[in-house]
Amino acid sequence: MGKIDFGGVVEDVVTREEFSLDKAREVLKDETIVVLGYGVQGPAQALNLKDNGFNVIIGQLEGDSYWEKAIKDGFVPGKTLFPLEEAAKQGTIIKELLSDAGQTATWPIVKKCLNEGDALYFSHGFSIVYKDQTKIVPPGNIDVILVAPKGSGTNVRRNFLDGSGINSSYAVFQDYTGRAKERTLALGIAIGSGYLFPTTFENEVYSDLTGERGVLMGCLAGTMEAQYNILRKNGHSPSEAFNETVEELTQSLIRLVGENGMDWMFSNCSATAQRGALDWAPKFRDAVTPVFEDLYDRVKTGKETERVLEVNSAPDYQKKLTAELNKIKNSEMWLAGAAVRSLRPENIKK
């Protein structure tokens, strides 16, 4: 493992140079990897494993839309695609990539399919850390491991296809075989990780739930909406408000941050923009810090997971979710966004 200085804190990371794909193939050569759930992370991880030459099969509810998607992606019913329990019985590594609520609902089925020496794999610490709510307590005679890509399933696949890979964290919760860490790193490389950094199940789920509710999704969406509404309230057109709120961020500035950091992005903007950003960043930081403190406390105490399991397990969940997403989709801000995106050069028919 390589030691990298992260702003004065030295961490161990594992790169593809240190743990090669050939080594991963050797470690996993006798394993049957079962991917349970073909929804968000499932397709990306399964296809990456398949393309890298690993023995992978899918477990999914027979006949539903995800089952059909797996068939379209090249998995064959009765050969590499099976109903959940039938697939789980065949695996030596069981990847729990169902939704958190789905993992809870199907745990009695999965648990009885686990054999001594198997590995139970997660890409999120939710089910293990909040066991009092999920009731997921693995038997003591298996490995329990985690590889958590730091991105959506879409980007796990995109980054794999363009050769860049996506960063992932990894953790070992239970090492029964003495090979748990080796299996974990091999799986991390096998799904196309750019590099792997160590964590714990607890730290992964606390940071993940905070991040997606905060900067990555919830805070981003709320802040965008607030700025857009203020601009519209003061007479700016939908096109102008959207471009200044979203389009310039996603198509220009965030790319500069990704390339070389926030300071580099600031230094590559106008002096006026630079001065304003430097002056206002502390104000936004101080304004939202109490919100983040409340958020982290709710995550750590299990209040957020309690809500997730309660809402996502409701029989009418999909109907209500669709209504919530359509409300966003049909708002003026995101209708303006659709119009703006259609005008990007690559989307204009020549």
Residues 324 and 274 in one domain: yes
Quote the tokens at residue 97.
């990539």
Q: What is the mean pLDDT of residues 25-46?
A: 96
Domain boundary among 172, 199, 226: 199
Quote the tokens at residue 104.
């809870």
Measured distance CA(27)–CA(7) in Å, rounded: 34
pLDDT value of position 253? 92
Q: What is the pLDDT of residues 296-347, one digit of tens each?
A: 999 999 999 999 989 988 899 989 999 999 999 999 999 999 999 999 888 8
pLDDT value of position 4? 78
Residues 76 and 220 in one domain: no
Residues 91 and 116 in one domain: yes
Give me the domain span that covers residue 216: 211-347
Domain membership of residue 340 (yes or no) is yes
Measured distance CA(337)–CA(243) in Å, rounded: 8
Residues 57 and 86 in one domain: yes
pLDDT value of position 349? 65
Q: What is the mean pLDDT of residues 233-240?
A: 97
Domain membership of residue 227 (yes or no) is yes
Domain membership of residue 205 (yes or no) is no
Domain membership of residue 11 (yes or no) is yes
Residues 54 and 192 in one domain: yes
Residues 221 and 154 in one domain: no
Domain membership of residue 45 (yes or no) is yes
Measured distance CA(167)–CA(160) in Å, rounded: 11
User: Can you name the residues that pair with 243 across neighbouring β-strands?
Assistant: none
Measured distance CA(94)–CA(73) in Å, rounded: 20
Can you spell out the DSSP letters for 37-97?
--SSHHHHHHHHHHHTT--EEEE--TTSHHHHHHHHTT--BTTTEE-HHHHHHH-SEEEE-
Q: What is the pLDDT of residues 240-283, one digit of tens each?
A: 999 999 999 999 999 999 899 999 999 999 999 999 999 999 99
Please report where in the chains the tokens 């950091």 appear, as a residue: 261
What's the number of domains the chain is made of? 2
Domain boundary among 130, 164, 199: 199
Residues 48 and 176 in one domain: yes
pLDDT value of position 329? 96
Residues 184 and 63 in one domain: yes
Q: The whole model's pTM is what? A: 0.88
The two beta strands, 9-15 and 2-6, are antiparallel
Q: What is the pLDDT of residues 276-296, one digit of tens each?
A: 999 999 999 999 999 999 999
Domain membership of residue 204 (yes or no) is no
Residues 86 and 177 in one domain: yes
pLDDT of 350 > 80? The answer is no
pLDDT value of position 225? 97
Q: What is the CATH number of the domain that holds 61?
A: 3.40.50.720
Quote the tokens at residue 323.
């209504």
Domain membership of residue 107 (yes or no) is yes
Residues 150 and 63 in one domain: yes
Residues 61 and 179 in one domain: yes
Domain membership of residue 206 (yes or no) is no
Residues identified as active-site: 124
Domain boundary among 175, 199, 223: 199
Residues 185 and 227 in one domain: no
